Amino acid sequence: MINLFTEPLDAFCGGFFLLTAIGIVSTRQILACLRLFVIQALLLVAAALLIGVKLSSGDLVAVAVITFVTKVVAIPWVLKLSAGSEIYAQREIDQVLNIPLALLISAALVLFSYFVATPMVTAVGQPFTDINLPIGLAGLVLGAFTVTVRREAMAQLIGLLVMENGVFFASISIVPHLPVIAEISAAIDVPVMSLIIGLLIRRIHKRTGSTVVSELATLRED
């Protein structure tokens, strides 16, 4: 039963994964962004479990557990700890572009990721890659887009985390047997990155009284 439905259920996770990425591009509240990120991480966990069970890969189950611990539990906690009041600020955050334009560009980026992924999928023809690789790639690109168009420090950090999620969403299908040691190290890397960037946000906030990092523009060529 579970075997029959693994592929559709993985596709289901993929559809929502894409939606959360789009949501993070366009949401105006920091808190909502963070929640969407947590949902996205949960979808990643679900997909890893599904594929792990189907391919009977203990590594992927380990990935699911590590992802749950780091991204669903640790990162929101670390961010709360390091950048405290910032996330829970209810104010609206700005974008460089207006939202309809940002959304249209996101759609174009998703199309682009499909164009990049399709040759690889057809070249190898491994199960699940037809769903996970393009959608993971789209997560990566949309995360990068978020970092570029957001002006707020915390939103840029969430963009980075979305990129990371995208990479992992792709990786669970392309390399289901990556040694766990690499996964664990990568899992340590993500909270460390969040912690360091979170602390940096706090320092910037203390020093300049704002977290709108796009206003930090004293260093440039002229």
Partner 1 sequence: MWQSILFNLIQVAVVVGLAPLVEGVLHRMEENVQSKRGPSIFQVYRDLWKLLQKDEIVSGESSWIFRAAPYVAFVMPIFVTLLIPVLTRYPLFFAFMGDMLAAGFLLALGGFFVALAAVDAANPYGAMGASRTRMVGFLAEPVFMMVFFTVSFTAGSTIPYIVQASWSAVPGGFLEPVHILVILAFLMLILADESRIPVDNPSGQFELAMIGKSKYLEYSGRGAALIKWAGCMKLVVLTCVLCNVLVTPWGLAAEHTLAAVLLAIPLVLFKILIFLLVLVIIESSLAKLRLFRISEFLSAAFVICLLAMVTRLMGS
Partner 2 sequence: MLAAVLILPLLAALLVLLPIGHRGRWPALVTVLTNAILLALALAIAAHVLYAGAFHEWNRSLSIDAFGALLLLLVTFLGFTTAIFSWGYIVERRVGATRTDKVRLYYTLYHLFILSMVAVPLIAHVALVWIAVEMTTLMSAFLVAYEDTPASLEAAWKYVVLTSMGAILGLLGVLILYWATRVAGDVPFTWAGLVTGAPHMPKTLLWTGFLLILVGFGTKVGLVPLHTWLPDAHSQAPSPVCALLSGVETSTALFVILRLFPVLQAAPLVADPRPWFIAIGLVSVGAAAFLLLQIRDYKRMFAFSTVEHMGIIMVAVGLGGMPAHLAAMYQLTAHALTKSFCFFAAGTTLAATGTQEVGAVHGLIHRAPLAGTALLLGGLAIAGAPPFVVFISEFSIFRAGLANGQYLSIALLALFVAVAFCALTFHINRIVFGRAEDSPVHAIPKPCLAALVIAAIPMLILGLYLPGPLAALFRAAAATLGH
The residue ranges of DSSP E strands in the chain, in sequence order, are: none
Is residue 201 involved in binding partner 1 (CB under 8 A)? no
Contacts for 122 with CB less than 8 Å, ≥ 6 apart: none
CB of 5 to partner 2, least distance (A): 26
Residue whose CB is less far from partner 2, 111 or 124: 124
Closest alpha carbon to 91 in 23, 19, 151: 151
Contact 75, 196 (CB under 8 A): no
User: φ and ψ at 84, to 5 degrees?
Assistant: 25, -110
* Among partner 1, partner 2, none, partner that 179 touches (CB below 5 to 8 angstroms by kind): partner 2
Residue whose CB is less far from partner 1, 21 or 190: 21
Residue whose CB is less far from partner 2, 28 or 177: 177
* Among partner 1, partner 2, none, partner that 131 touches (CB below 5 to 8 angstroms by kind): partner 1
In angstroms, the Cα distances linking 69 to 6, 72, 213 are: 23, 6, 29
Q: How far apart are CA 164 and CA 140, in angstroms?
A: 7
Q: Provide the binding-site residues for partner 2, judged by CB under 8 A.
A: 116, 119-120, 123-124, 136-137, 140, 143-144, 147, 153, 156-157, 160, 163-164, 166-167, 170-171, 174-175, 177-179, 181-182, 185-186, 189, 192-193, 196-197, 199-200, 203-204, 207-208, 213, 216-219, 221-222
Instruction: Please list every residue from 89 through 148 that binds partner 1, using CB under 8 A.
Output: 98-100, 103-104, 106-107, 110-111, 114-115, 118, 130-131, 134-135
Q: Binding partner 1 by CB under 8 A: which of 4, 181, 217, 219?
A: 4
Contact 117, 133 (CB under 8 A): yes
* Among partner 2, partner 1, none, partner that 19 touches (CB below 5 to 8 angstroms by kind): partner 1
- 125-150: burial string, b at 16+ Cβ within 10 Å, e else: eeebbbbbbbbbbbbbbbbbbbbebb
| Angle at alpha carbon of residue 138, lines to 133 and 144, rounded to 5° | 130
Question: What are the residues binding partner 1 (CB under 8 A)?
Answer: 4-5, 7-9, 11-12, 14-16, 18-19, 22, 26, 98-100, 103-104, 106-107, 110-111, 114-115, 118, 130-131, 134-135
